[in-house]
Amino acid sequence: MTLKGSILKNVVKLYSKLSSSIKSPQKLQEITLRKLLNSASKTDFGKHYKFNSILKSSSIINAFQDTVPIYDYDEIYNKWWYRLLKGDRDVTWPGKIKIFALTSGTTESSSKYIPISSQMQSSMGRASFKGICAYLNELDLPPDFYNGKILMLGGSTQLKQVDDLLMGDLSGILTGDMPLWMNLLYEPSLQITRESDWDKKLDQVIKEAYKWNIGVITGVPAWVQILIERLIAHYKVDNIYEIWPNLKLYIHGGVSMEPYYSYFNTLLGDNMLYLDTYTASEGFIAFQNSKYSEGMRMILQNGIFYEFILFNSENFTNEGKLLDHAKTLNISEVEENEEYAIILSTNAGAWRYLIGDTIKFTNTCKNEIVITGRIKHFLSLCGEHLSVGNMSDAISRLNKELNLNITEFTVFGGKAGNYFSHTWWLGLDKDMDNLVLSNKLDSILRTLNDDYNTERDYALKEVIVNVIPNAMFYKWMEANNKAGGSHKFPRVLSKEQKASWLSFIKQKHIKQV
């Protein structure tokens, strides 16, 4: 087995060297856009917006932005993507789209159908491999580490078939698309990955776990946490390393790790390495290529053209709706520590698509970013402009200062007489005084956000904190068929989600403040 480890380590080192580029970010993005426009020029979308004319322009980026409008999901679906579900060809991307990632996003409850082309599947596979190679090459782990396998804790690879179309969780789509030889590097087995019932899948993983040599785990933090806890309880061991002694790396994405680090350090120890990735249903956007990096490096030549819009009141309403006059920026025009909404044009037929995420550049020279939240996933009832990034940072500080292990939380806004209130639900598996938590959380948020601090003295009159067991968050997810896979508990509840959550809490006979 040592030979296998040595070979894989050399492959990682070689691929890391080959995948670097000396071209400027702007040049890489221009090349990418040109390829996208060329590929889609004969589609209905390309003909409608005259891609061939754009390609002849002296500045194709400017011509593209002047010609093609910005779309959100509802707009591009209602005008173009609905035809993909009818089986139409050459709509926004050449050929017929046969696979769709189903996602509720993190702000709406209804399913979204995100097209996944074969080119996008290849792009995601390349980006994933590139990210892991770059990170592992820097760590220079011994060959024995490469004898282990990667545990992929994702959605079911058994996709739902509607006519001749396939639909399912993105993680299940990508896992099912792997070449057969790559299955030699991964667990669990194909039989287990096909399981759609999350509890049954966990039971099967736990049953087989002692047979595996796992070096890497990948998955959403909440579900990985549940698996580790259940493994330790099932095998009656003190820690996970009694089962998987070679476990060294956790690859995560889709949600901020800040609220989880404190508990994960307790659960996995201080020596666990963490690799942050930014994978959306619309594409693989960025990965952390160094353990010393604060942010994730954007992938600029892999089938995605990026644009950015400053996330402020000049460009967005208080409800997160894009204003008509909003100005877009290119990769060469962004600045560090400004919050941007991100727009994608991809090799799956998304064009100037506002995916709903907000990011900040931590290093513009290296094109490194962090995810800060969602354009509709923040609270601003009276001008407090509280982002998910603020919330995650506050919970992380709350954990450290009060020695807590809050991993799940959510918040929604409401009225307090003629003024406003924030109601928080914190996942905590021990008793804690609600008022102490409320005062401390409020104090931390005041230091993190000047607008919040100002409004707390005027219009934002109440900050209410409820404490419930972490398990309640997961049970609500299960009750709404959102257990496992890429699903995350929403940090800010919409009106419909709030009603569902409060109904669930009432059914469980949990008192609220």
The confidence score (pLDDT) of residue 490 equals 87
**Measuring CA to CA, how many Å separate 297 from each of 19, 159, 275, 276?**
13, 31, 12, 10
Q: Tell me the three state secondary structure of residue 444.
A: helix
Here the tokens at position 367 are 């094109």
Q: Identify the residue whose tokens are 């942050």.
A: 276
Dist CA 76 CA 394 (whole Å): 36
Q: What tens-digit pLDDT sequence spans the chain (513 residues)?
A: 465 666 677 666 665 565 566 689 999 999 999 999 999 999 999 999 999 999 999 999 999 999 999 999 999 999 999 999 999 999 999 999 999 998 864 344 357 899 999 999 999 988 988 888 888 888 878 888 888 999 999 888 889 999 999 999 888 898 887 777 777 889 999 899 989 888 899 999 999 999 999 999 999 888 899 899 999 999 999 999 999 999 999 999 877 788 788 889 999 998 899 999 999 999 999 999 888 888 999 999 999 999 999 998 899 886 788 999 999 999 999 999 999 999 999 999 999 999 999 999 999 999 999 988 888 777 878 778 788 888 999 999 999 999 999 999 999 999 888 889 999 999 998 889 999 999 999 999 999 988 899 889 888 999 999 999 999 999 999 898 888 777 788 899 988 899 999 999 999 988 888
**Measuring CA to CA, how many Å separate 343 from each of 290, 333, 363, 396, 454?**
25, 14, 19, 29, 31
The confidence score (pLDDT) of residue 11 equals 64
- Give the DSSP letter string of 409-437: EEEEEEEETTEEEEEEEEE-SS---HHHH
The confidence score (pLDDT) of residue 154 equals 86
Dist CA 360 CA 337 (whole Å): 5
Dist CA 417 CA 461 (whole Å): 9
Beta bridge partners of 58: none
**63 φ, ψ (degrees, to nearest 5):** -65, -40
- Give the DSSP letter string of 386-412: B-HHHHHHHHHHHHHHHT-----EEEE
Beta bridge partners of 342: 308
- For 500, how many CA atoms within 13 A lie in the half-sphere containing its CB? 17
The confidence score (pLDDT) of residue 104 equals 64
Q: Tell me the three state secondary structure of residue 363.
A: strand
Same fold for the domain at 1-377 and the one at 388-507?
no
**Measuring CA to CA, how many Å separate 42 from each of 45, 47, 58, 93, 97?**
8, 6, 21, 9, 15
Triad 255, 428, 426: Cα angle to 5°: 60
- Terminal Cα distance for the chain, rounded: 58
- Neighbouring CB atoms inside 10 A of 245's CB total 12
Dist CA 43 CA 91 (whole Å): 5
Q: What is the domain partition of the chain in residue ranges?
A: 1-377, 388-507
Residues 6+ away with beta carbon under 8 Å from 298: 285, 286, 306, 331, 367, 368, 369
**140 φ, ψ (degrees, to nearest 5):** 55, 50
Q: Does domain 1-377 fall into CATH 3.40.50.720?
A: no
Of the candidates 343, 221, 354, 229, the one whose C-alpha atom is nearest the C-alpha of residue 276 is 221
Judged on CB neighbours under 10 Å (0-12, 13-18, 19+), 486 is: buried
Q: How many helices (H) and strands (E) does the chain have?
A: 17, 18
**Measuring CA to CA, how many Å separate 481 from each of 2, 197, 474, 485, 493?**
43, 10, 10, 11, 17
Dist CA 453 CA 462 (whole Å): 13
pTM of the shown model: 0.82
Per-residue 3-state assignment (H helix, E strand, C coil) for 249-305: EEEEECCCCHHHHHHHHHHHCCCCEEEEEEEECCEEEEECCCCCCCCEEECCCCCEE
- Give the DSSP letter string of 447-494: HH-HHHHHHHTTTEEEEEEEEE-HHHHHHHHHHTT--STT----SB--
Of the candidates 310, 305, 356, the one whose C-alpha atom is nearest the C-alpha of residue 334 is 310
**Measuring CA to CA, how many Å separate 262 from each of 294, 371, 404, 465, 479?**
17, 19, 8, 20, 28
CATH code, 388-507: 3.30.300
